[in-house]
Amino acid sequence: MKKKSNLLLVLCCYLIFIILGAHSSVNLVLGSKYIINGGVSYFKVSISDKNIKNIMVKFQQHKISLMVIPKNQFIGFIGVNYDIQQGKYPIDISWERNNKKFTKKYYIIVQEGDYPSSKLKVDGKRVILNNLDRKRAADEKNMLKEQIFGNPHEIVHWNEKFNKPLTSVITSPFGVKRIFNGKKSSHHSGVDFRAPVGTKVKPINRGVVRLTKNLFYGGNVIIVDHGSNIFSSYSHLSEFKVREGDLVEKNQVLGLSGNTGRVTAPHLHLGIKLNGVTVNPITFIDLFNKVIFR
Ligand SMILES: [Zn+2]
């Protein structure tokens, strides 16, 4: 009889421990278990204890910006690299409570997106860059990584739903594999909108202009920092209408479209960098609006 009551006591203590443990926990729920390369997903983190501090979520070495929503909850968006292999990948979450650090792992499954290919047969010289051009392109890539994308504004600038920059037809979607002379050389890192030279281009949301510069591939490029580690870029412009440091509203004109940089015809190329990863702009815009403004 005594043995039984002891067992009951142990069981009760164990249950209380579980309940208390669950009470002071951090929980992450994924919007979807699956994601494709170049795609976007989201998660919600809920905490049930005000002593929980310094929550940090990381995916593939990238810190994910967390947006606060009511009821002790946070939302974060995960972007997956286009070049990632299929498989199961960890999402690492850490937090502090009473000066103690805790960690937990969740997993997301990356599947291969069904991206179309465009096969091109061109003169080899057009694909292979000369040394000077290669150096310029590499220097610009580093500059963007270090000075712009690696240095996002902490303040949230976006204030409404994200728009598409133009309502015109998409002439080339994100992710198209470019196969030059039978070899995959690159993929389309953004989305192209039909735009005759001189079309007014507006930002997809409120933000701060971080760059107005002529780049090797993008020609005249504007990069807007929307906060929450979300950047949008507008390439091949013919004219800039804003300056670096300007806070731009959604209805303001950033510049005029054109055909500067490496293009065969005038159009607007829109790119999105989300938590340090280049993602499909249309997927991002649609998912962000659905999750945040539902
Ligand atoms: Zn493009």
Q: What is the pLDDT of residues 169-182, one digit of tens each?
A: 999 999 999 887 77
CA of 217 to the centre of ligand 1 (A): 10
- Rounded distance between C-alpha atoms, residue 102 and residue 93, angstroms: 8
CA of 7 to the centre of ligand 1 (A): 68
In this structure, of 48-52, 94-98, 106-110, the range with the lowest mean pLDDT score is: 48-52
CA of 270 to the centre of ligand 1 (A): 7
Supply the CATH classification number for the domain 2-111.
2.60.40.10
- Beta-strand runs (E) in 37-157: 40-47, 52-59, 62-64, 67-69, 73-79, 87-97, 100-111, 117-120
Q: What is the pLDDT of residues 80-99, one digit of tens each?
A: 999 999 999 999 999 999 99
The pLDDT of residue 24: 56
- Rounded distance between C-alpha atoms, residue 168 and residue 153, angstroms: 30
- Rounded distance between C-alpha atoms, residue 114 and residue 19, angstroms: 45
Share of residues in the chain with pLDDT > 90 (%) = 80
In this structure, of 14-18, 56-60, 162-166, 223-227, the range with the lowest mean pLDDT score is: 14-18
- Rounded distance between C-alpha atoms, residue 67 and residue 239, angstroms: 34
CA atoms within a 13 Å half-sphere pointing along the CA-CB vector of 286: 8
The pLDDT of residue 122: 58
CA of 292 to the centre of ligand 1 (A): 27
- Rounded distance between C-alpha atoms, residue 223 and residue 248, angstroms: 11
CA of 174 to the centre of ligand 1 (A): 8
Q: Is the pLDDT of residue 21 over 50?
A: no
The pLDDT of residue 135: 94
Q: What is the pLDDT of residues 192-231, one digit of tens each?
A: 999 999 999 999 999 999 999 999 999 999 999 999 999 9
CA of 97 to the centre of ligand 1 (A): 46
CA of 140 to the centre of ligand 1 (A): 17
Q: Binning pLDDT at 50, 70 and 90, where does residue 294 land?
A: confident
Q: What's the count of helices (H) and strands (E) in the chain, helices before strands?
A: 4, 23
- Is the pTM of the predicted complex or chain greater than 0.75? yes
CA of 48 to the centre of ligand 1 (A): 45
The pLDDT of residue 112: 96
Q: What is the mean pLDDT of residues 232-261?
A: 97
CA of 76 to the centre of ligand 1 (A): 27
Q: What is the pLDDT of residues 110-153, one digit of tens each?
A: 999 999 998 876 555 556 788 999 999 999 999 999 999 999 99
Q: What is the mean pLDDT of residues 12-29?
A: 60
- Rounded distance between C-alpha atoms, residue 74 and residue 28, angstroms: 9
CA of 226 to the centre of ligand 1 (A): 21
More confident residue, 16 or 149: 149
CA of 186 to the centre of ligand 1 (A): 12
The reply to whether 2-111 and 117-292 are identical in fold is no
Q: Is the pLDDT of residue 27 over 90?
A: yes
Supply the CATH classification number for the domain 117-292.
2.70.70.10
The pLDDT of residue 152: 96
Classify residue 57 by burial, with Cβ atoms within 10 Å: 0-12, 13-18, 19+.
Answer: buried
The pLDDT of residue 228: 97
CB 205 within 8 A of CB 292: no
The pLDDT of residue 119: 81
- What residue ranges do the domains of the chain occupy? 2-111, 117-292
CA of 259 to the centre of ligand 1 (A): 11
The pLDDT of residue 175: 97
